[in-house]
Amino acid sequence: MKTLFAHRGMSTLAPENTLAAFALCRQYGIKWIECDVDILADGTVVVSHDDTLDRCTDRCGSLYELATADLAAIDAGSWFHDDFIGEPLPTFEQLIALVNQHELNINVEIKSCTAGWEMTDKLIGNVIAALEQLDTGRELIVSSFNHLALVEFKRRRPQTAVACLFESTSLGDDWESILQVCEAEYIHPQDNNLTQMMVTQFKAAGYKINVYTVNDLARANQLFNWGVDGVFTDIAHRFPSKYKQLYANNTIGSQ
């Protein structure tokens, strides 16, 4: 079974990395979501791709200067569409509650925290603490471009599958050594410049492969035919039903 990951939720239908975007997944038969996590000054883990508010909220400034109490005043939806005015910047704990409720699986990308290792270390610890709230029936992958952070995460939570993220420009001949050091089960390469030969090498080494970010149906089909296990996409709703989870009905909690 090939896997579709809703990249930052259903991010062409709702503002990325919001509860609204993740809540749409079950409606469209998408079982897996991808989210990004970073940390506020007071240690709260939030769901955000950027370490600033500028691009996806109604405010500017750094996450690392905020506290939990500041979240109530941040609108993370009005930039996208009037239907999402007042959509909050979610905490990771809020997302886990939604994942449990909607019976989703989750890929958590730990951001390369630009506030330094002390904050990165706190981010790792607080992500691990929050994951204790994840229902046992939910599947989980933790990924990062920061392979040092991934090594530390795996050391503290060895039972969780981890994935090394690579941009095409950083995917060198030492990729297998990096995966081995991280004790990774997955490699998550960028779609750009990915070849069938590379996919064959990854599979031959025993790794599962999820490719980001694939927004072309024909390219996704090609990747799946090459043996890729999953793709991250902003257009999960446009994929044919053979890639989706069929539910008896879409009422949350009906299963």
Please say if 7 is a catalytic residue.
Answer: yes
Could you tell me the sign of the dihedral formed by the alpha carbons of 163, 167, 173, 178, in that order?
negative
Tokens 């609108």, located at residue = 75
Environment class of 4 (CB within 10 Å of its CB; exposed 0-12, middle 13-18, buried 19+) = buried
Neighbours of 191 (CB within 10 A): 19
Distance CA 125, CA 123 (A): 5
Enter the DSSP assignment of 83: G
Q: Which of 7, 102, 188, 237 is catalytic?
A: 7
Distance CA 71, CA 174 (A): 41
Report which of 185, 181, 146, 178 is spatially closest to residue 162, judged by C-alpha positions.
Answer: 185
Q: Which amino acid is at 54?
A: D
Distance CA 45, CA 30 (A): 24
Report CA-CA distances (Å) from 87 to 76, 77, 115, 195, 212: 5, 5, 26, 39, 26
Report CA-CA distances (Å) from 239 to 4, 73, 81, 216, 236: 9, 36, 24, 10, 6
Distance CA 113, CA 242 (A): 37
Q: Show which residues are catalytic.
A: 7, 49
